Amino acid sequence: MVDAGGHLVSFARMDKAEIAGPHLAVAKAATAVAHRCPSGDLAAESAPGASLAGLASSGGGRYVVFAGGLPLWAPDGRVVAGIGVSGASAPQDLACAAAAATLWPSPR
């Protein structure tokens, strides 16, 4: 989990997790916060020739544009945190993040 500024505030790693998972999970959460949308929603827009082309290669690898990152919203409509999950397939990462997000009191 990251805060509204994309700073890591909580993290858990399963035993034997692949090396890329921890980096990708935090980056997915930061991407969701920065763009106020699920990280996977940015894939099409960041493709070559699209409006956000090159997004995934900007920010020193901080942005990840595939599923698994979700923003968390405050009752007043502000994004106040983000959840990121990585290590399985994109649909599985998203499902896990969505399950975790249900524990957050959200107006959405």
Average pLDDT estimate for 30-50: 94
What CATH number has the domain spanning 2-101?
3.30.450.150
Which comes out higher in pLDDT, residue 57 or 75?
A: 75
Average pLDDT estimate for 43-69: 88
**Cα–Cα distance between 48 and 45 in angstroms, integer?**
8
Residue 107 scores a pLDDT above 70: no
Residue 108 scores a pLDDT above 70: no
